[in-house]
């Protein structure tokens, strides 16, 4: 098992490796496998890139995001401009039925609302607005319509986990309550844990995923 200092260095090296980031702007605190990112950066996209870089590092159990987006003058936009750009981005994304969504913008923070059929549509909606200039954060409040029976959902997820080469499916237990999925068991890395959760969300009819998987080093 890595020490706090060893894991801190690995995360710092991964941040340095990420071309979109200036690692000198980001503080890294590590305790018992939990990584806390601190500091000020100039875009929401960089904030997400830093979080994903930390999650890729072996030994990371969780990431606490305390980075604050502080826009430079050239990156500032009015809420009306941000809303207009977001609506335009959603309209031109073939994965997102934009007519089913509503957008609210407050001080550069985008709130997405509405109801969709699939989790990938919900994810796509957030992805196409999070990189826009002037955005400081995105809250995805889109809900997913309930669909298939509990048994079918559970079996579909099991099959998907066994097909994925990056996942040791035998270490994972799946419980379902209505259209809610509860994941339990052990993963070898934070990346594997996220892949398992992603697979669960891909099952049609899933409206909620509770991820109780532990990362075992």
Residue from 119, 120, 102 nearest 111 by CA: 102
- pLDDT of amino acid 136: 94
The reported pLDDT for the residue numbered 147 is: 66
Note whether 100 and 90 are within 8 A (CB). no
The predicted pLDDT at position 119 comes to 85
Please give the distance of CA 116 from its chain centroid, rounded to a whole number. 18
Same domain, residue pair 108 and 66: no
Domain boundary among 70, 102, 119: 70
- Cα–Cα dist 64/51, whole Å: 8
Given this model, what pLDDT does residue 217 score? 66
161, 167 Cβ separation under 8 angstroms: yes
Please tell me the pTM assigned to this model: 0.68
How many structural domains comprise the chain? 3
pLDDT on residue 124:
93
Predicted local confidence at residue 4, as pLDDT: 93
C-alpha 24 chain-centroid distance: 24
Nearest to 42 by CA among 74, 18, 14: 74
Domain range for residue 177?
A: 150-215
Whole-number pLDDT of residue 174: 93
15-42 burial: b if 16+ Cβ within 10 Å, else e:
beebeebebeebebebeebebbbebebb
Confidence (pLDDT) at 83: 96
Final residue before a domain boundary, out of 123, 144, 165: 144
Distance CA 107, CA 77 (A): 9
DSSP class of residue 1 equals -
Q: What is the CATH number of the domain that holds 37?
A: 3.30.1340.30
pLDDT at 73: 82
pLDDT at 148: 60
Residues of the chain with pLDDT under 70: 147-149, 217
Domain boundary, last residue among 70, 98, 127 = 70
Per-residue pLDDT, 93: 92
Residues 12 and 24 in one domain: yes
């Amino acid at each position: 098992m890595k020490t706090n200092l060893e894991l801190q260095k690995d995360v710092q090296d991964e941040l340095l490796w990420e071309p979109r980031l200036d690692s000198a702007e980001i503080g890294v605190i590590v305790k018992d496998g939990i990584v806390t990112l601190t500091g000020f950066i100039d875009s929401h996209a960089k904030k997400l890139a830093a979080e994903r870089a930390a999650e890729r590092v072996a030994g990371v159990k969780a990431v606490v995001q305390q980075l604050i987006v502080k826009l430079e003058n050239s990156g500032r936009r009015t809420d009306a401009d941000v809303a207009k750009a977001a609506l335009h981005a959603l309209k031109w994304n073939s994965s997102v039925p934009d007519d089913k969504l509503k957008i609210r913008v407050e001080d550069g923070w985008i709130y997405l609302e509405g109801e969709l059929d699939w989790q990938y549509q919900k994810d796509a909606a957030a992805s196409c607005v999070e990189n826009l200039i002037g955005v400081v954060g995105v809250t995805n409040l889109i809900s997913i319509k309930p669909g298939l029976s509990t048994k079918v959902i559970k079996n579909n997820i099991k099959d998907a986990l066994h097909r994925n080469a990056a996942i040791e499916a035998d270490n994972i237990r799946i419980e379902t309550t209505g259209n809610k999925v509860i994941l339990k068991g052990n993963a070898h890395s934070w990346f594997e844990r996220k892949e398992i959760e992603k697979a669960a969300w891909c099952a049609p009819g899933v409206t909620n995923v509770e991820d109780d998987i532990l990362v075992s080093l």
